[in-house]
Copies of this chain bind each other. A is one copy, B any other.
Amino acid sequence: MSPRTAEQYEKIRAEKQKLIMDVAIEIFAEKTYQGASVSMIAQKAGISKGLLYNYFESKEDLLKEIIKSASQKVWQYFDPNKDGVLTKEEFIFFIRKGIQVIKENINYWKLYLTLVLQPLVIDIVKSDVDDLAKQYGKMIFELFKRSNMKDPEGELLLMSAMLRGAIIQYVTVPNLFPIDKFESKIIEYYFEKL
């Protein structure tokens, strides 16, 4: 009966906040940010609309928080190591890990994709992600060059297109796209080339 400690409250808050965000990702991915209503999210999360506004300032704020937090979670695995140099093994790992992360967060990626397709609406998303993408791009380019590829830039283009396309396809129709076969294939491809 003793009042909860500050930490307990903090924990409860954090959990409820996560719950709301998880539910929101799902609904946003299914219905679009604009097509989803705050009521739907509150209802599916089992809380009142009022309480949702206790945790997030607005619907847009909720979206921003989702992107912020999910970005962190998703991209943490790819923090480039200190030296900024990518070995062949690290590159293979990067692909494997990347595909795994996507498999585990389909809805987030779906949401992410709908968002990047509306440049005017959301610029938040880009900034973070773009930086990382550039760094990686550079490192992979260097790897390709070191491996004596004829046209490292062109190869980079093909590679990123391949990955991106596979993600889209997988995220859109998970059951129809053989992500595992794709994974072996692309790894086999670069294993030989590098």
- Could you list which residues of chain A lie within 8 angstroms of chain B, going by C-beta atoms? 30-35, 110, 113-114, 116-121, 151, 153-155, 157-158, 160-169, 171-173, 178, 181-182, 184-186, 188-189
Copies of this chain in the oligomer: 4
Task: Name the 7 nearest CB pairs between A and B, nearest first.
Answer: A165-B165, A164-B165, A161-B165, A34-B34, A154-B185, A34-B35, A161-B166
Q: What are the residues of chain B within 8 A of A151 when measuring CB–CB?
A: 185
Q: What are the residues of chain B within 8 A of A120 when measuring CB–CB?
A: 30-31
Is chain A's interface secondary structure helix, strand, loop, or mixed overall?
Answer: helix
Asked whether, in the complex, the Cβ of B157 is within 8 Å of the Cβ of A118, the reply is no
Asked whether, in the complex, the Cβ of A182 is within 8 Å of the Cβ of B169, the reply is no
Question: Roughly how many angstroms separate A164 CA and B41 CA in the complex, as a whole number?
Answer: 32
Q: How far is the CB of A122 from chain B (nearest CB, A)?
A: 11
Asked whether, in the complex, the Cβ of A32 is within 8 Å of the Cβ of B114, the reply is yes
Q: How far is the CB of A178 from chain B (nearest CB, A)?
A: 7
Asked whether, in the complex, the Cβ of A31 is within 8 Å of the Cβ of B161, the reply is no
